[in-house]
Amino acid sequence: MSKISIIDTHCHIYSTELADHFTEIMDRSAEASVDYVLMPNVDGTTIDAMLEVEKKYPNCLSMMGLHPCSVNGEYRQALQEVEKWFVQRKFVGVGETGIDLYWDKTWIEEQKISFDFQIALAKEHQIPVIIHSRDSLEITIAMIRERQDGNLKGIFHCFTGTEDQAKEIMDLNFYMGIGGVVTYKNADLPGVLSKTGPSNVVLETDAPYLPPVPHRVKK
């Protein structure tokens, strides 16, 4: 029987919250046949830690981007830093980027500009864009639809939308990242996925966030 190969498509393995258990986590990942871990960047404060993990563990692959929750009055400088990194080396994806209207709507227009900038980077470098869309799925789908010319690909990270939204994402030739939320008691996701099927689904942990049941309340 051939070995099962698993890719965690979205994991903040470099996070300080995981530092005390990092070696154990990597060992358990290997035992569970997780061959690759894809690491989304957050902002300028997480780059060094992410790249250090990649240096020690070549199966942990870095992405580069600016998280929407890190967009503020200095977002242009932050985007310039992201762009400079793409000049220096290759990354497996752009992100995570997108729009977050759950925590704060103060910088919504700036978030849109930042998202648009990073969509353009993904097209330029022909790599996937990793989309954070908390309370903004309709907006982010619409922005991707307007910019999809056949040269854009990516993942709607932590998808929790409706069947219609799932079909829109599939029609755009994008994927849906599915993680621990699918196990939550009040989640509609199992019903949605039973209708749309697995063809445009990828697995993610988003560790250390959104752990599955029964680990949801554990530290």
Model confidence, pTM: 0.94
Q: What is the pLDDT of residues 165-178, one digit of tens each?
A: 999 999 999 999 99
Does a structural domain hold residue 140?
yes
Does a structural domain hold residue 4?
no
Q: What is the pLDDT of residues 63-109, one digit of tens each?
A: 999 999 999 999 999 999 999 999 999 999 999 999 999 999 999 99
Does a structural domain hold residue 124?
yes
Does a structural domain hold residue 132?
yes
CATH assignment at residue 118: 3.20.20.140
Does a structural domain hold residue 118?
yes
How many domains does one find in the chain? 1
Question: Would you call 33 exposed, middle or buried from its count of C-beta atoms within 10 A (0-12, 13-18, 19+)?
Answer: exposed
What is the rounded average pLDDT of the residues 22-33?
93
**For helices 137-147 and 163-171, what crossing angle results, to 10°?**
20
Verify cis geometry, omega within 30 degrees of 0, for the bond prior to 198.
no
Domain span including residue 180: 65-203
Separation of CA 171 from chain center? 20
**Integer distance in angstroms from the first to the last C-alpha of the chain?**
36
Which is it for strands 129-132 and 154-156: parallel, antiparallel or unpaired? parallel
User: Residue 111: pLDDT above 90?
Assistant: yes
Does a structural domain hold residue 80?
yes
Give me Rg for the CA atoms of the chain: 17
Does a structural domain hold residue 30?
no
Does a structural domain hold residue 108?
yes
